[in-house]
Structure 1
Amino acid sequence: MSILSDVRGLFYPSLCPVCGGELPEGGRTVCTLCRMTAPLTRFWEQADNPMMRRLWGHVPVVGAAAFIWYVEGSGWQRLIHAFKYHGQWRLALEMGTWYGACLADSGAFADADALVPVPLHWIRRLGRGYNQSEYLAAGLARALDKPVWTGILRRRRNNPSQTGARTPDRWSNVQDLFALRRPERLAGRHILLVDDVFTTGATLVSCAEAILAAVPDCRISIATLAVSARSLGPDRKG
């Protein structure tokens, strides 16, 4: 480590984005204690998990999983907001890598051909400077040794944010929202749709519907970093 880095670390130590504690030298993403106490769902170890049941009747999927529970007011919510709204995209990449290592160890989504991140509208992407779902997908792909296919999906319009919207509004906000580019690329493939947070599932269902309307023989799985327990209702305990 250079002298400049030593001095920077002395006055501006790296802090855990979850608890705010100082990270040890060489530490990445979150501190050891937060890793050990992370609210993991372990859905990737359950073929019939609450996310799968939440999607029943909406769209056929091969598998679905989230990494952590989304808890409002928690340090994990702050971490997600940091990469989603405050420019800390490296957190999305590193969390995706951690999640991907767990998936790889379990064999989940092993037969997926590629990862497809949920796209932002170009106006929102321009304002944010990046798409956090692409960085999550890149981290997952690093661990799973799979390609990431961007540009497959596009948003037709800059729909209102889903945050804070009532459940009926969430579904109407995303109706016919996505369009597919180069559908022939997905023919006969198994793709893993990647997004940051699963609440009602409306956005992901809209993505899947657009894909299946154009490519009926495409198989779809879903991976999100977090899931809201409240949105899963009585199925949340698995």
Structure 2
Amino acid sequence: MRILKDLFNLFYPKLCANCDHQLTMNEKAICTFCRHDLPLTNFTNYSDNKITKTFYGRISIEKANSLLFYRKVGITKKLIHELKYKGNEEVGVFFGNWLGEILVDNNEFSDIDIIIPVPLHPKKRRERGYNQVTKFGIRLSNHLKKPFLEDILLRTSTSKTQTFKARFERFNNNDTKFQLSDLTAFKNKHILLIDDVITTGATLEACAKELQKTEGVKISILTMAYTE
């Protein structure tokens, strides 16, 4: 089996999602050199940082964190683009494993009950073929030993892609709506809401407001990246 795997890698080598150099056997999705170039947020205070301050006066959250900074130009943008538009879900797996290991070590989210992704509208999911945060969430679930649920918080409206919209326009976009299929499923639960990137926080805010229709629910937020 090892010989067959080596032959397969010879003819179909796995490439770094950022620089396109061939990965070694021990590298996953991103080469070691590019990994060292990633702009880590290094937020150590999960309850009081730039991300939690983004939501002050808008929604009540317990904690929040992101692994990376997202900038207009740079490696994070390239990786998220590969994940979101090029079908490279290994990027989500990579980030899920990395963050999962960090969270197991620091116990910051040890009290959560359920992991919930920001959902895609069914039409968008059919077009893309996947939700870009699904494999990210599954890996977090495996590390944290908490269930990952995709079928209770639903997106009920479609909107044009946010990628090329101005920041102010994204913040004022009220077209995106969400709905809970079961208002009692999260009663008295602590939800970890996950997404790929926080820009203005408008989408996560809309999700949180719908989740907060459930009695006794608490919400924390975790993403791959945060826009400075």
1:87-236 aligned at under 5 Å gives the runs 87-174=87-174, 177-212=177-212, 214-229=213-228
Q: Which runs of 5+ in 1 are unaligned?
A: 230-238
Deviation of the 1:141 alpha carbon: 1.2
In 2: Cα distance, 1:150 partner to 1:104 partner: 22
Q: Please name the residue that 2:86 is paired with.
A: 86
Deviation of the 1:62 alpha carbon: 0.2
The residue type equivalent to 2:225 in the other structure is A
Indicate the larger mover: 192-201 or 21-30.
21-30
In 2: Cα distance, 1:12 partner to 1:176 partner: 40
The residue type equivalent to 1:226 in the other structure is A
In 2: Cα distance, 1:147 partner to 1:132 partner: 18
Deviations 1:119-177 (A, max 9, x none): 00000000111111222111111211111011111111111222222334323434561
The residue type equivalent to 1:41 in the other structure is T
Q: Please name the residue that 2:42 is paired with.
A: 42
In 2: Cα distance, 1:88 partner to 1:137 partner: 15
Report sequence identity in percent: 36
The residue type equivalent to 1:84 in the other structure is K
Structure number having the greater helix percentage: 1
In 1: Cα distance, 2:131 partner to 2:174 partner: 18
Deviation of the 1:72 alpha carbon: 2.7
Q: Is the 8 A contact 2:187 2:214 kept in 1?
A: yes
Deviations 1:50-107 (A, max 9, x none): 0011110110000111111112332322211111111111221221111111122111
In 2: Cα distance, 1:72 partner to 1:64 partner: 22
The residue type equivalent to 2:137 in the other structure is A
Q: Please name the residue that 1:67 is paired with.
A: 67
1:183 alignment partner, SS class? coil
How many residues were matched structurally?
A: 228
1:67 alignment partner, SS class? strand
In 2: Cα distance, 1:98 partner to 1:136 partner: 10
Q: Which runs of 5+ in 2 are unaligned?
A: none
Q: Is the 8 A contact 1:45 1:106 kept in 2?
A: no
The residue type equivalent to 2:207 in the other structure is C
The answer to whether the aligner puts 1:29 opposite 2:39 as a matched pair is no
In 2: Cα distance, 1:85 partner to 1:176 partner: 20
